[in-house]
């Protein structure tokens, strides 16, 4: 590609980003986009979740579609909204340049009332490892290809930052933090893991776990929580951004999974007091 062609392409990209930022000047559109980023959603469900009148919602959806944020598909007579390609993650990647030290905000919205959180206990290992196995099977959650032993996980995870979510007394998800370095200067930097069983996905379990995880980190000696997420896992990216994670950058071809090179997005959340 010639330098002239690159300049034209860069200008076009900048124009697209500018129009997308401008489109989100209305907070309602940002809320709609965040919900769509978590996963495909029916228009009727979207109206119920946001409380926006159908006619007004239609105007917002048209504006988001015009700048390439969303696609509208008709499935069995029902209109379904989904994020178009990497539009959402591309915008968030650009946002770090505009405001890399923005205030940490929590935009998760309503949380489930039928999910109970508690500290992980010895009796939970079978359930935790079973959910881990499900996550590995998706191919979009981790580079790990086999479930580590309970002993290895116990050695890896910080003892005070292990949580499980239960529904009707059954473990349906878990969240943990692992140290990123043995050096004392990095003692407050940890990497998170959150997994939700397939049968419980879409019920807000991940939202509840992640919020509790970062709140617990904020009241401890942890000042930075980081995460590496496959770009294809838009739901996880949106979930992390909703509690204040920002995209630091993309690590291209960082490792192989199944013989294929994969990229990851690197995200971090800084404790509010560390931002000033």
| Cα distance from N-terminal residue to C-terminal residue, the chain | 42
How confident is the model at residue 180, as a pLDDT?
97
Q: Please give the chain's pLDDT, 276 residues, in tens.
A: 444 444 434 445 667 777 777 777 677 887 888 777 776 788 888 888 788 888 888 888 888 888 888 888 877 778 888 888 767 666 666 655 444 444 455 566 667 788 999 999 999 999 999 999 999 999 999 999 999 999 999 999 999 999 999 999 999 999 999 999 999 999 999 999 999 998 998 888 999 999 999 999 999 999 999 999 999 898 899 899 989 999 999 999 999 999 999 999 999 999 876 654
How confident is the model at residue 50, as a pLDDT?
82
Burial class (CB in 10 A: 0-12, 13-18, 19+), 113: exposed
How confident is the model at residue 102, as a pLDDT?
45
Q: Where in the chain is the domain with CATH 3.40.630.30?
A: 116-275
**Domain 116-275, CATH 3.40.50.880 — does that match?**
no
Query: CATH topology for 3-85?
Result: Arc Repressor Mutant, subunit A (1.10.10)
How confident is the model at residue 94, as a pLDDT?
60
Q: What's the CA angle centered on 36, arms 216 and 199, to 5 degrees?
A: 65
| pTM for the full predicted model | 0.63
């Amino acid at each position: 590609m010639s330098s002239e062609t690159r300049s034209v392409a860069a200008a076009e990209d900048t124009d697209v980003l500018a129009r997308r930022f401008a489109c989100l000047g209305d907070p309602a559109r940002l809320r709609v986009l965040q919900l769509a980023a978590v996963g495909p959603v029916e228009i009727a469900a979207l109206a119920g979740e946001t409380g926006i009148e159908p006619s007004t919602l239609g105007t917002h959806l048209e504006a988001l579609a015009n700048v390439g944020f969303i696609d509208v598909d008709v499935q069995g007579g029902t209109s379904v909204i989904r994020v178009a390609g990497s539009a959402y993650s591309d915008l968030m990647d650009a946002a770090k340049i505009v405001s890399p030290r923005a205030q940490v905000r929590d935009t998760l919205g309503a949380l489930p009332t039928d999910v109970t959180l508690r500290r992980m206990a010895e009796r939970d290992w079978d359930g935790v490892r079973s959910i881990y196995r499900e996550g590995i099977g998706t191919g979009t959650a981790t580079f790990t290809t086999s479930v580590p032993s309970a002993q290895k996980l116990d050695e890896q995870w910080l003892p005070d930052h292990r949580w499980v979510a239960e529904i009707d007394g059954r473990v349906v998800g878990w969240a943990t933090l692992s140290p990123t370095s043995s050096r004392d200067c990095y003692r407050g930097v940890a990497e998170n893991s959150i997994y939700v069983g397939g049968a419980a996905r879409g019920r807000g379990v991940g939202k509840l776990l992640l919020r509790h995880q970062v709140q617990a980190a904020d009241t401890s000696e942890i000042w930075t929580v980081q995460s590496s997420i496959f770009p294809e896992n838009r739901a996880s990216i949106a979930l992390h951004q909703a509690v204040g994670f920002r995209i630091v950058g993309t690590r291209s071809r960082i490792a192989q999974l199944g013989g294929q090179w994969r990229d990851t997005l690197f995200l971090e959340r800084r404790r509010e007091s560390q931002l000033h």
